[in-house]
Every structure is written in C-alpha cells, then in structure tokens.
Structure 1
C-alpha cells in the first residue's frame, strides 16, 4: 500500500532526488533517476554564484534550474496531497478498496501541502528573480558596450 501522506512528504523533502518517484514506481523509474541531474546542475550553479558572484553567466543560468526543479517537486507534493482517496487508491494501490486508509487525507498530509505551497512559491519567485536579474544586467552591459 502506497501512502498518500508519505508520498507528499517525500516529494516535498527529497523530491529533487526522485525519492517520491522511487517510492511510488520503484527503482526502475527512469524519471526518478533523471531528477538528480538538474538538481545537481542547479546546486553547482549556486556554488559558482557563492564563489564567483552574480556576475558569472553560468551561475545565473544554472541556479534557477535548482529552483524550478524544487518548485516542480513542491507542485507534485500539492497534487498528491489534494488527490481524492478514490483516485489515489485507483492509481497507486490498484488492488485496494477505493476507501483504503492509504489514500486518506490526514493533518500531516495537509501540512505537507501547506508547506509545499509556501516554500515552493518562495523558491519559484526567487528563481525567476535571479534569472531575470542576471539576464537584464547582461543586457544593460551589452547596451553600454554598444553605445560607447
């Protein structure tokens, strides 16, 4: 039996490393193995930004990838948490009764949804701000070079 609450928390906490996909679909899930790639690329961008500053073009391209990956996993946690118990059990617990306890929503499920919404929105807005700031600063620099 696959628990909706556990899947929502795994998507929120360890989703960028594919934990929720491995829990629901097993170790053979190719997307679960693919999720750490953008996560690690974005983490490398964050490390570059910390060491080289925001003027590094590679860091302002890679850093938002981490944020978008994490925000996507938060969205997945929200979708899992808000799924009807009948739909959850039909999809992830096909042999179980439609009202099986694994698909029910509890307060811990609701907290996973609330935290995923708050943190995911903040991470998404920060990622957008970082990417646009880097892009527009680069455009201003190129405009200054052209005007001279």
Structure 2
C-alpha cells in the first residue's frame, strides 16, 4: 500500500523547494526523471545571478543564464497552484487510491495565494529583465553600425 500523499504538503513543497524538484520527489520518488532534471536549470540560473553580481550587468552569459532561474521559479509556483487548486476528491483519486480522503482546508489555499504572488513576481521580473537586455543589445548594435 502506498503512503498517503498530502495535497497541502505537495503545494508547500512546490512553493518552497519546487525549483529543485522536491515536490516531484515527494509525489513520485527517486525514479522520477523530471525530479532529476529540475536542479540543473535552477543552478545554472543561480550561477548567472552570481556572475552578474561579480562581473556586472554587461556579462552576456549571465543574461542567458538568469532567466532560467526565473522560469524555474515560475514553473514551481505554477505546480503549487495546480496542486493546491485540485479538488480533494480528484487529488485522492489520483494520488491516494483506495485510501480515506482528507479535507485540506486553508493551508493549501494560503499556499496557492503565496505561490500566485511569488510566481507572478518571478515571471514579470524575468520578462522585464530579458526584454531590457534584448533592447539594450539592439541599441548598442545600432549605435555601433551608425558610427
């Protein structure tokens, strides 16, 4: 018999440590391929953030790597929202077949609200940073051509 998989715990794991795939580890175990793929883009994005801190905003590699962190944060928050908004009956049918259902209540809802706030912030920051860097690069290229 499988152990009970809590919707609230899955929501909070996705929100707190989802960038490293710990929500997938909780739900699917070590055999899950996607769990093993989560940390790499997150670590690459963190490396890009560190490079920008050390080398400044003109480092082009950090421009490419930092959006990976933002996208992984947004993806983890989306998973938290999906888990938290899944109806209890459907969650138990998918994750806990043959076990008595449990009501989740407010902790899952609070996790969804926080995930929406964090995910929206991460996504908008990633889009703004990427767009700013793209337009700055285009302006530099246009200025170089005109000289």
Q: Is the 8 A contact 1:55 1:134 kept in 2?
A: no
* Alignment match, 2:14: 11
How far, CA to CA, are the matches of 1:105 and 1:131 in structure 2? 38
- Structure 2 residue aligned with 1:52, among 47, 50, 55? 55
After TM superposition, the runs of 4+ consecutive aligned structure 1 residues lying more than 3 A away are: none
Q: How many residues align?
A: 144
- Listed as ranges, the gaps of 5+ residues in structure 2 are none
* Alignment match, 2:86: 83
* Alignment match, 2:136: 137
How far, CA to CA, are the matches of 2:104 and 2:33 in structure 1? 28
* Local SS of the residue matching 1:131: helix
How far, CA to CA, are the matches of 2:67 and 2:109 in structure 1? 27
- Structure 2 residue aligned with 1:64, among 60, 64, 67? 67
Kindly state the Cα deviation for residue 106 of structure 1 after the two structures are TM-superposed: 1.4
- Structure 2 residue aligned with 1:26, among 6, 24, 29? 29
Kindly state the Cα deviation for residue 95 of structure 1 after the two structures are TM-superposed: 2.1
Please provide the CA RMSD for this pair.
Answer: 0.9
Q: Is the 8 A contact 1:22 1:32 kept in 2?
A: yes
* Local SS of the residue matching 1:95: coil
* Alignment match, 2:126: 127
What TM-score do the two structures reach when normalised by structure 2?
Answer: 0.95
Kindly state the Cα deviation for residue 6 of structure 1 after the two structures are TM-superposed: 0.1
